[in-house]
Structure 1
Amino acid sequence: MVGLEFLDLSYNNISGIIPMTLEKLQNLKYFNVSINKLYGEILSRGPFKNLLSKFFIYNEALCGSSRFSVPPCPSSSKHRSNRKRLLVLFLLLGIALVFVPITFVFFWIRYRRGKRAPQQPDSLSSITRKTISYYELLQATEALSESNLIGSRSFRSVYKGVLRSGTAVAVKVFNLQLDVAFKSFDTECEFLRSLRRRNLIKVITSCSNLDFKALVLEYMPNGSLDKYLCSHNYFLNIRQRLSIMIDVACALEYLHHGCALPVIHCDVKPSNVLLDEDMVSHVSDFGISKLLGEDDCDLYTKTLATLGYIAPEYGRDGLVSTKCDVYSYGIMLLETFTRRKPNEFEGDLTLKQWVSYSLPEAVMDVVDSNLVTSTGNRFQKEINLVASMMKVALDCCAESPAGRINMKDVVGMLQKIKVQLLAC
C-alpha cells in the first residue's frame, strides 16, 4: 500500500483508532473517515499535515490538533501520588467550607433585593443559553448544506438548522478568510449579548474556535422584508407594511434612546428586517454597528453601509450618528410603500426626490399600485394616510442631520396613523 493515494472509508461503522502506520503512506493525498465510530487521536505527521477537518467529522470521540476542530486529547498524567490527591482534596474541602456560606449569603441578599424588581419582558429566559459545539452545528445544518442556505454575503452565510431539541435556528457562519469577518463577529457578539428587545433579533449562543466562527440566532420563518418588496410572489397589505415599519421604528428608538449608551445600527435596510411567524419584524445584522460614548454625538468610521440607504454625511465624510439610522429608515419607509428600490433611478434622480415631487397631490403616482384597493370615501382616507407616511419618511431623510426628526417622534407619528387606518 505504499503507493496508495486515495482512501475513502466514510459512511461505515468502523470503530477503533486510526493506525499510526498510515503516517508512512507518503503518497496519500485523500483520506476520508467521516461518519464512523472512530475514537482516539487524529494523526498529525506525514500526509495528515494537509488533510481537512471535514474528513473526520461525525465520529465517536476523535481528538487531537485544533486545526481539525476536535477537542485536545487528554493528557497521560495518571501517576499522581495518594499524598498529592489528599492534599488537593483537603484544599477543596477548605475552600468549600469558606465559599459555600458566603455564596449562600450573597444569593440571599440578591433574592431579597430582586424580589420587588420588575420582570424584563424581553429577556431570553425561555431560551437555553448553552454552549453548542461545531459538530452539533454541522448536524443541525446537514454539514452546512446548500439546501439549508438562507442567504449569503461577502463575508458571512446564513443557514437554517434544527437542533437536537427540535428547535429551528439560523446559523450565521463567518468567512474567516477575510479580516472583516473577525471584526464583524466580535461586534455582533458584543451588541447582541447586551441588547434585549422584542424587535431585535435574539442570539441563542455562539460557536468559535480557530477555524470556525458562527452565531446561532432565532429563526425567522417568514424571511426578510426585502423578499416581500422585491418578489411579486409575495404581498403585504397596507396595515401589514405599517405594522412592520412601526416595529422597526420601535427597535431603533430603543437603540438610540433606550440604551445606556446610544447604539447606531449603521446598515438599516429591508434585507436586515426579518419577520417571524406572526409577521412581527426584528432588526438584525449588527456587524458594523457603532456605540456612542457619553460625550459623543457623532463619530467617524471608514466602514461604509449599503448604497442607496446611506446618509449623505456618512457616505461623504464617514461621519455617523443616530441621525444616519433615521435617514436610512426614511428611505426604507419610502421603499416599503412605493415598492421601488433606491438605486433603480437613473441620472441625478433619487427615490426621495421622486416621491417629494409627487406629494401631496399625486401620491397615487408613486405609491405601490396594488396597495390601495378601497373605493369611495375610504379610498381617499387611505390615500391621505399614505401621503402622511410619505411625509414622515421625507422628514426622516432630510439632507441635513439637524433637519431630521428623531425615532421617538417617528414612532409617535406612525402610531397615530395606524389608529386612523384601523378606524377607516
Structure 2
Amino acid sequence: MDYIVAGELPAELGNLNLVEFVVNTNGLSGSIPFSMFNISTLEIMDMAVNYFSVYLPSTIGFSLPNLEELHLGGNRLSGVIASSITNASKLTELDMGNNFLTGTIPNFGNLRLLFIIGGNNLTGESSRFFSSLTNYRYLKLFDVSSNQLSGVLPASVGNFSASLQIFSAFGCNIKGVVPAEIGNLSRLEYLLLDSNQLTGFIPNTIGKLRSLQRIDILINKLEGYLPLELCQLSNLGDMDLSDNMLNGSIPDCLGELKSLRNVHLGFNKLESTVPLKLWNLNDLLRLNLSHNSLSGNLPSEIGNLNIIFDIDFSWNQLSGNVPSSIGKIQSMVSLSFAHNRFQGSIPPSLGNIINMQSLNLSFNNFSGLIPKSLEELRHLEQLDVSHNRLEGEIPTGGRFANFTAQSFIKNYALCSETQQQFRSCGKVHKRSRSKNVVSDHTFDCKNTKIERIAQSEISLRLGWRRISYRELEEATNAFGESNILGSGSFGSVYRGILSDGLNVAVKVFNLQSEQVRAIKSFATEGQVLSTNRHRNLIRIIGCCSNTKFKALILEYMPNGSLEQWLYSHNYFLDMLKRLNIVIDVALALEYLHHGHTFPIVHCDLKPSNILLDEDMVAHVSDFGIAKLFDEGESTAQTKTLATIGYMAPEYGTEGIVSTSGDVYSYGMMLLEMYTRKKPTDEMFGEEMSLKSWVSHSVDENTITEVVDTNLHGREEENFSKRDQCVSSILALAIECLTDSHTERINMREVVVRLQKIKAMFLAR
C-alpha cells in the first residue's frame, strides 16, 4: 500500500552523502532546504508533484556537479531558473513544469532525454530559443507549453533531436506558420501546438511523421485544405484540428486510417459531404465535425461505427432522413445532430442505444411522433428535440418524467397530460396552473421530499462516476485539515487522490446547519454543471450522495483561485495572464447566457469562484445559487443574497436576477483584477466606491493612480501599450456597471471588445 507523506523536509538532509533522493507525488510542503543543493554526490533529485515553494539557488549548476536527473515539476517554485544550471554537465533529464517560474529560459545544451518546463511564466523569443535546440541530439520529450515565447517556429526546428518523441509547445503565443521542416522529426509521436496564433497552411510534410500518434493544433488560425498527406500517418490515433479556419472537404482517405480513435474537426469552415469511407473506422471512439458547413445525407453505413460513444455533427447543413442503422451503435453515450436540416421521423431504433445519456436533435425539421422506444433509454439524462415539426403525445415512461418543457418546445403539435406548458391530448382533465415567478425548484421542509428532489437532480450524469464515502474518506486523508482547499457557507472543499491516482477536489456540503439550502445548492450545482460543457466551466467528475452526506467530485485546479493570485505575495499575474483570464471568464458567461435556448445566471461571480488549472486557464465554479430560466423568462426574483460588493443594485434591493446581474458582477471583478482592491475595501464607503474611484481616474486619464502597483515596473518597455490596454478594460468595466440593468451591455459584446483589446495589446 502506498502512503502519502506530508510535512516539511528537515535541513539535516543536506548533511548526507546522498546519491538518489526520491519523494515524488506526496504532500510535502514548505521550502526545500538549500543545503540539499550542495550535496555534491547527488545524481538523482526527484521531488515532483508536492507543494514545495522556494526560489532555486543561483549556484545550482556549480554545487551539483554529478546531477543527472532533476525533477521538480508540479510544485510551487518561483523566481528564475539560474543560468548556472547549464554548468551541470551531466544533467540529462530536467522537469520543472507546472510551477511559477519567471524570467528567460537558459540555454541548456547537454540534456539527452527529458526537458519539461511547461506550465510556468517563462519568457523568450521563440525563433532564437528553438534554434538553440539543435544541440539536443538525444532528447525524447520536450515540453515548453504555457509559457510566453513570442515569435515564430523557425525552420531550424527540423534540426531538432532525431530521437524526439513528444514536442509540446501549446499555449505559448507562437505566431507564424508551421514550418515544412517539422516533417524531419521522423520519430515524433505527439505534436502539441494548440492554443497559439499559428497561421498559414498545414504543411504537406506532415505526412513524413510516420510514427505520429497524436496531433493537436486546435485553437489557432490555420487555413486552407486538410492535406492528403495526413492519410500517410498510419499510426495516428488522435487528431484535433478544431477551432481554426480550415476549409474545403474532409479527405476521403482518412477513412483508411484504421488507427484513428478520436477525430475533432469542429469550428472550421469545412464543406462538402462527410466522406463515405469515414464510416469504415470501426474503432472510432469520438467524432466531432460540429460548426462547419457540411451538407448531404447520412448513409446507412453510420451503423458501422459500432464502438463509438460520442458523435457531434451539430451546426452544419446536413439533411435527409437519419438512417435507422444508427440504432446499431449500442455503445454511444452522446449524440448531437442539433442545428441541421434533418427531416422525416426520429428513428425508433434510437431506443436500441441502451447506453445513451445525451441526445440532442433540436433545430431540425423532424416530423411525426416522438418514438415511444426512447422510454427504454434508462440512462438518458439530457434530451432536446425542441424546434422541430413533431406532433402527438410526449412520452411519459422511462426518463421522460425528468425532462422539462425546454426539451420539447417550439414544435408543430405536441401534447401532454403531464407537461402543463402543452395542450391536453384530448382527455377531459381539469388542472390549475400557477404562474411561476422564480425559475427554481420548490423545496419543503420534509427530509424525504428534499432527498427525492436532490436525487432526481443529481442522478448519474453524462460521464459521471459514483464514488463511495469510503473512497472519498481515503482519498482526502479522512477529510483532514491538511487537505482543505477552501471553505464557505456551503461547506468545505478538500483535495483528494482517488484510488486510480486521479487528483480531484471534493466539495462537501454542510447538511448540519441549513439542510434545505445545502441540498438545494447541491442539486442546482449538479444540474448546471452536468448539462453544460465548456472549456471555462469547472467539470464534475462524479458525486457521492446519501441522506447524511453529499459531495460533488470536481476536477482539481492546481493553481488555486484568482483571489489567491491577486492577494498573495507569492504570486504575480502579468498583463497577458490577466487579459487571458478575463477573456476566459467572459467566454464562460457568454456560453451560459447565450449558448442555450434559455439562459443560466451564475448569481455569485467573484474572484474566489474563478479557479485556474495547470495551464492558467480560468474555470468558473460554484453554481450553488445559480438560476436556470424557463421559456420566455428573462428575469426572476429570489430571496437568496449573493456576495456583498459584487451584487448588482437590482439584485441587492429587489432580488431581481437576470443575465445583466452577472454582467455587473463581471464588471466589478474587472475593476478588482486591475486595481487589486476589493469593492468592500475599507477605503470605500458612502462617499466613494470602487466604481466611482476608477471612473474618475478614467475620466481624468490618471489610471496609473488606481492600477495595481504590481504591474508598475514589470513591463516598462511596453508601459504605453500596457496603460492603453488597462484604460480600455477599465472603461469596459464601467459600462458593465451601469446602474440600470436594462442598459448594460451583454456578454457577447464584452467578449468582442476584449478580443479587440487583446489584439491591440499583442500587436507589434
TM-score (normalised: structure 2): 0.39
Contact 2:661 2:741 in 1 (8 A): yes
Contact 1:238 1:372 in 2 (8 A): no
* Rounded Cα–Cα distance in structure 2 between residues aligned with 1:301 and 1:421: 40
Are positions 1:176 and 2:528 aligned together? no
| Cα drift, residue 231 of structure 1 | 1.6
Q: 1:355 aligns with which of 694, 698, 703?
A: 694
Taking a change above 3 Å as real, the CA distance of residues 232 and 263 of structure 1, as seen in their structure-2 partners, is: same
Corresponding residue of 2:487: 152
Q: 1:336 aligns with which of 673, 677, 681?
A: 673
| Cα drift, residue 130 of structure 1 | 2.5
Q: Give 1:20-419 correspondences, 5 Å limit.
A: 107-108=327-328, 129-177=464-512, 178-179=514-515, 180-344=517-681, 345-348=683-686, 349-360=688-699, 361-373=701-713, 374-375=715-716, 378-419=718-759
Q: CA offsets per residue over residues 87-136 of structure 1, 9 Å max, x none?
A: xxxxxxxxxxxxxxxxx967227899x99959x9xxxxxx9633111100
| Cα drift, residue 211 of structure 1 | 1.0
Contact 2:647 2:661 in 1 (8 A): yes
* Rounded Cα–Cα distance in structure 2 between residues aligned with 1:296 and 1:117: 26
Contact 1:395 1:403 in 2 (8 A): no
Match of 1:181, as an amino acid? A
Q: CA offsets per residue over residues 39-63 of structure 1, 9 Å max, x none?
A: xxxxxxxxxxxxxxxxxxxxxxxxx
The structure with the largest helix share of the pair is 1
Taking a change above 3 Å as real, the CA distance of residues 158 and 109 of structure 1, as seen in their structure-2 partners, is: closer
Q: CA offsets per residue over residues 188-228 of structure 1, 9 Å max, x none?
A: 11111101111000001110011110000000000000001
* Rounded Cα–Cα distance in structure 1 between residues aligned with 2:659 and 2:649: 13
* Rounded Cα–Cα distance in structure 2 between residues aligned with 1:111 and 1:409: 41
Higher relative contact order (CA 8 A, sep 6+): 1
| Cα drift, residue 379 of structure 1 | 1.6
* Rounded Cα–Cα distance in structure 1 between residues aligned with 2:668 and 2:640: 20
RMSD between aligned residues: 2.2
* Rounded Cα–Cα distance in structure 1 between residues aligned with 2:591 and 2:540: 17
More moved, 246-255 vs 361-370: 361-370
Contact 1:395 1:404 in 2 (8 A): yes
Q: Give 1:7-26 correspondences, 5 Å limit.
A: none
Q: CA offsets per residue over residues 357-380 of structure 1, 9 Å max, x none?
A: 11141010111122143346x322
What SS does structure 1 have at the residue aligned with 2:757? Answer: helix
Contact 1:299 1:321 in 2 (8 A): yes
Corresponding residue of 2:77: none
Contact 2:496 2:503 in 1 (8 A): yes
What SS does structure 2 have at the residue aligned with 1:241? Answer: helix
What SS does structure 1 have at the residue aligned with 2:709? Answer: coil
Contact 2:601 2:658 in 1 (8 A): yes
Contact 1:311 1:328 in 2 (8 A): yes
What SS does structure 2 have at the residue aligned with 1:401? Answer: coil
Match of 2:759, as an amino acid? V
Q: CA offsets per residue over residues 309-344 of structure 1, 9 Å max, x none?
A: 000000000001000000000000010011001001
* Rounded Cα–Cα distance in structure 2 between residues aligned with 1:171 and 1:185: 12
* Rounded Cα–Cα distance in structure 1 between residues aligned with 2:673 and 2:615: 18
Count of residues in correspondence between the two structures: 312
Contact 1:199 1:282 in 2 (8 A): yes
The runs of 5 or more residues in structure 1 that have no matched partner are: 1-103, 121-126
Corresponding residue of 2:287: none
| Cα drift, residue 420 of structure 1 | 1.2
More moved, 316-325 vs 338-347: 338-347
Contact 2:664 2:738 in 1 (8 A): yes
* Rounded Cα–Cα distance in structure 2 between residues aligned with 1:235 and 1:404: 31
What SS does structure 2 have at the residue aligned with 1:191? Answer: helix
What SS does structure 2 have at the residue aligned with 1:151? Answer: strand
TM-score (normalised: structure 1): 0.70
Taking a change above 3 Å as real, the CA distance of residues 382 and 144 of structure 1, as seen in their structure-2 partners, is: same
Corresponding residue of 1:422: 762
Taking a change above 3 Å as real, the CA distance of residues 241 and 116 of structure 1, as seen in their structure-2 partners, is: closer
Q: CA offsets per residue over residues 228-286 of structure 1, 9 Å max, x none?
A: 11222211001000100000000000000002320000000000000000000000000
What SS does structure 2 have at the residue aligned with 1:234? Answer: coil
* Rounded Cα–Cα distance in structure 2 between residues aligned with 1:326 and 1:105: 46
* Rounded Cα–Cα distance in structure 1 between residues aligned with 2:639 and 2:336: 46
Q: CA offsets per residue over residues 132-164 of structure 1, 9 Å max, x none?
A: 111000010011011000001123100000011
Taking a change above 3 Å as real, the CA distance of residues 385 and 162 of structure 1, as seen in their structure-2 partners, is: same
What SS does structure 2 have at the residue aligned with 1:182? Answer: helix
Q: CA offsets per residue over residues 360-405 of structure 1, 9 Å max, x none?
A: 41010111122143346x3222211110000111111111112211
Taking a change above 3 Å as real, the CA distance of residues 128 and 193 of structure 1, as seen in their structure-2 partners, is: closer
More moved, 159-168 vs 356-365: 356-365
* Rounded Cα–Cα distance in structure 2 between residues aligned with 1:184 and 1:115: 29
